[in-house]
Amino acid sequence: MEEGSVKLKHISKSYDKQTFAVKETSVDIQPGEFFVLVGPSGCGKSTMLRMIAGLEEITAGEIYIHGKSANDTPPSRRRISMVFQNYALYPHLTVEENILFGLKVRKVPKKEQLRLCLEATDMLGMTEFLKRKPRELSGGQRQRVALARAVVSQMPICLMDEPLSNLDAKLRGQMRTEIRQLQQKLGITMIYVTHDQVEAMTMGDRMMVLKDGEVQQIGKPLDIYNNPANEFVANFIGAPPMNITEAEVQRDGSLRVHHNNSLTLLPASSNMKMHLGVRPEHILLTKTQETDWELSVKISTVEILGNETLLTFEVGETLWKAKIPGQWHYEKGQVTTIHINKQHIHLFDGRTGKMLPESVGVARKPAAVQGGASI
């Protein structure tokens, strides 16, 4: 038995046989893995989680849990715990009673209940709150109670549905660390739903990016960040999102971005419309040995965040952002020069949005200078 494993094989969910909430999704989640389902609201990630839990019937496909088919297995027999967005605590019960509720239903001996409860609350720093009611707790404390309830269940798989969305930014950061440490300490499989790409990047061993019920990309966070499969992933993963603008194919087959002057980037197919993308953090204000694309830009807005500065300016007909370390005091309308390493340029098919194979490394090929700076 593959304890703690989850396998989705071509699963789909449709409510009207035409519109799919989840469409043809397949993935193998390994035992002990922290797997993140990430995407915008309405993309199907919570529906997928509920299908794994058995709370939602699947329209087509197969689900395997612990190495066995679970299509017809009721939720109570899937050996899965779940942490909900709204914590799902009983308001009339104390913290201790909430934590032990599932164990009492399963008729676990009282001594064992107490041992598991104290072990979990000690781990989460909630021992002194055992006799309080949920209304007497802060949002972060309520979330820890929900986590403790999942911990005492001792299930090999834990599902989490946007558990941090009700918390403030500082507490979210703290709880991200706590949940990841807890998962690693217990060695359980965790499947975590979020719309926050920062949570996905910092917590997951692997993640699945979803849009409109369809899988866009599955992989390790840094692999997806460095090599997005398409424009949607490039925009969704990263903060601020990747800068993308149209690139025109000229008669000579070269690809150009027009901004004050004409810039030849690399040889390109003469019958393909392309989009060019650069991440804000890959834009520099100073030239280095690695930077070989220069553009003169006019600053539109300046946002100084303390440890970094966000600059907005036009490239072609689109607004781009640059994320620059430190504090830079520019005025609106001020002209400056930006510098980019050609290896950080991404190319996408202008019709399908898919990243082009030549996007990785091809920009290093020398291109002839035609009326402007060249890379």
**Is residue 5 a contact partner of residue 69, using CB atoms and an 8 Å limit?**
no
pLDDT of residue 272: 65
Q: Residue for token digits 């990016």? A: 209
Lowest mean pLDDT of 19-28, 40-49, 206-215, 266-275, name the range.
266-275
pLDDT of residue 1: 54
pLDDT of residue 303: 94
- What pLDDT band is residue 367 in, cutting at 50, 70 and 90? very low
The alpha carbon of residue 189 and the mean position of all alpha carbons in its chain are separated, in whole angstroms, by 18
> pTM score > 0.85 for this model?
yes
Q: Residue for token digits 């050996």? A: 79
Q: Is the pLDDT at 366 greater than 50, yes or no?
A: no
d(CA 347, CA 273) in angstroms, rounded, equals 10
Q: What are 221-247's pLDDT values in tens digits?
A: 999 999 999 999 999 998 899 999 887
Average pLDDT over the chain reads 85
pLDDT of residue 362: 40
- What pLDDT band is residue 6 in, cutting at 50, 70 and 90? very high
d(CA 333, CA 346) in angstroms, rounded, equals 28
Q: What are 146-179's pLDDT values in tens digits?
A: 889 988 988 999 999 998 888 888 888 888 898 8
Of 285, 197, 259, the C-alpha closest to 234 is 197
Q: DSSP secondary-structure letter at 72?
A: T
Q: Is the pLDDT at 45 greater than 60, yes or no?
A: yes
Lowest mean pLDDT of 28-32, 200-204, 302-306, 338-342, name the range.
338-342
pLDDT of residue 273: 77
In the chain, what are the domains?
6-233 (3.40.50.300), 243-364 (2.40.50.140)
pLDDT of residue 93: 92
pLDDT of residue 252: 60
Burial class for 285, CB neighbours closer than 10 Å (0-12, 13-18, 19+) = middle
pLDDT of residue 360: 44
Classified as helix, coil or strand, 178 is: helix
pLDDT of residue 124: 85
Q: DSSP secondary-structure letter at 230?
A: B
Q: Residue for token digits 């720093």? A: 125
Instruction: Please give the average per-residue pLDDT across 32-40, as a whole number.
Output: 96
Q: Is the pLDDT at 370 greater than 80, yes or no?
A: no
CA dihedral (211, 216, 219, 221) positive or negative: negative
pLDDT of residue 255: 60
Q: DSSP secondary-structure letter at 16?
A: S
- What pLDDT band is residue 373 in, cutting at 50, 70 and 90? very low
pLDDT of residue 341: 85
**Is residue 5 a contact partner of residue 191, using CB atoms and an 8 Å limit?**
no
Q: What are 179-196's pLDDT values in tens digits?
A: 898 899 889 999 999 999
Longest alpha-carbon distance in the chain: 81
- Of the chain, the percentage scoring pLDDT greater than 70 comes to 88
Strands 274-278 and 293-304: unpaired
- What pLDDT band is residue 266 in, cutting at 50, 70 and 90? low
Instruction: Say what the alpha-carbon torsion angle 197, 201, 206, 209 is, to the nearest 10 degrees.
Output: 20
Q: What are 104-155's pLDDT values in tens digits?
A: 888 889 899 899 999 888 888 888 999 999 999 988 889 889 889 988 988 9
pLDDT of residue 290: 72
Q: Is the pLDDT at 352 greater than 80, yes or no?
A: yes
Q: Is the pLDDT at 333 greater than 70, yes or no?
A: yes
